[in-house]
Amino acid sequence: MASLRRRGLDLSRSWFWSAGPSPELQNGKLADKAPKSAAGVRPVVFPAELVPELAHHLEHFAAAGQDGHLFQGPPRGGLLRRSIRDDWTTARTAAGVPGHMHFRVLCHTGNTPASSVGAGTRELMTLMGHSTTRAADLPAHAELP
């Protein structure tokens, strides 16, 4: 999430271009890195119903300019950092999500409905940007309350 930029979001097509990780460096800056494998370089589709919410988010919360980050950390204008863990813990608790559900699990829970309607391993791998069946199968059936 920390590496998502305005330039990678296309609201008219309901997709964003996947970005690699943005680890925090010792100097406090984020470094853009390539995804772990070529399979991670792909457009990621989202439901069209999210477009109005994302448009609102862009207008009120995202950094300005095509290179602006979609998600910023506190204070407004700062980069999203490891502190998202505290925000996730607060939101997870308020929503009644069990403590063992880590933020990263949200990315993988999309495989559950895809799998339930017949998507095979190859389709699940493409959805998640995984290059191996092991990576695709590990968290494919995470359940949220």
How far is residue 126's CA from residue 25's CA, in Å, rounded to a whole number? Answer: 30
- Residue 45 pairs in a beta bridge with 15
Query: What tens-digit pLDDT sequence spans the chain (145 residues)?
Result: 777 889 989 999 998 887 776 666 777 777 777 777 776 677 888 889 999 999 999 999 898 999 888 888 766 566 666 567 777 888 889 999 888 887 777 766 767 777 788 888 878 777 777 777 765 555 444 444 4
Classify the C-alpha dihedral 127-110-46-3 as positive or negative: negative
Domain boundaries, the chain: 6-80, 93-137
Residues 6+ away with beta carbon under 8 Å from 12: none
